[in-house]
Amino acid sequence: PAADVAPSSGGGAAAAAVPELDESALGMAFGALRLMADKLEHLGREATIEVTRPTPKEIALRRFKPANVEGGEALQSSGSLTREQVMRFTTEAARWLLERESIEMLARVDDATRGPLSVSWQREYLEHLGVEQDFGCRQLALVPERFKGDEGLLKAFAAFQAACMASMKMSAARRAELEKEKQAGGPAPEAAPAAAARDANGVPHAD
């Protein structure tokens, strides 16, 4: 049988007592939550790196050769990327992603291959600058947080991200042109793609 419950003085159900937490307990609870959030964020970054990691290529088949290919120093795989390293990668990658050569190369592969090909170039370019690929990807993922007060660097980082998206749109449009020319039986010249439009801050975007 159910245990007898003593009625409250007001005749209704007794209100459950809410335990009070002192500041130290609240601090520990918040710290545990923060640790869990950081771990989940880390796992998310690792999963992204794992999913986007391309099939390794022989050095001779890479578009960009590693900095240590001629027996130089080992690629950086620890510590942190400096502001100068991040700035160089983002500005240079944003430039060559929108160049004619890149657009033509991306246009000549199918939709499923285009994104992974671009990612493989970006990863190769990290090693071209002396940074191990996976380490470099992890460091780039931290840029918005590490340099959140650096307007110049964040602008360059945003331009790089915009260039990645713009190159996909530009190469897709170029591929459509190639397909149309192929169906018409005409030549498929390597016409220079239109330059990506830029916003007021100079960040490229595709309309």
> What does each C-alpha distance from 58 to 11, 19, 83, 122, 159 come to in angstroms?
81, 63, 30, 16, 30
Give the global pTM. 0.68
Rounded (10°) angle between helices 100-107 and 83-97 = 60
| Residue whose pair of structure tokens reads 């996976």 in the numeric block | 134
Backbone phi and psi for residue 131, each to the nearest 5 degrees, phi listed first: -120, 125
d(CA 143, CA 178): 37
Could you tell me if 122 and 132 are in contact, meaning their C-beta atoms sit under 8 angstroms apart? Answer: no
| Distance from C-alpha of 117 to C-alpha of 126, rounded to nearest angstrom | 15
Question: Please, what is the Cα angle at 176 between 112 and 191, to 5 degrees?
Answer: 115
Residue 138 clears pLDDT 50, i.e. is over it: yes
Alpha helices of the chain — where are they, by DSSP H? 23-52, 83-97, 100-107, 111-128, 133-141, 143-146, 151-184
Confidence of residue 69 (pLDDT cuts 50, 70, 90): confident
> Please, which pLDDT band fits residue 53 given cuts at 50, 70 and 90?
confident
Residue pair 64/124 in contact (Cβ under 8 Å)? The answer is yes
The stretch 142-153 carries a mean pLDDT of 96
Place of tokens 């439009």: 197
Residue 163 has a pLDDT of 97
pLDDT at 34 over 60: no
So what's the pLDDT on residue 194?
52
Cβ atoms 164, 157 nearer than 8 A: no
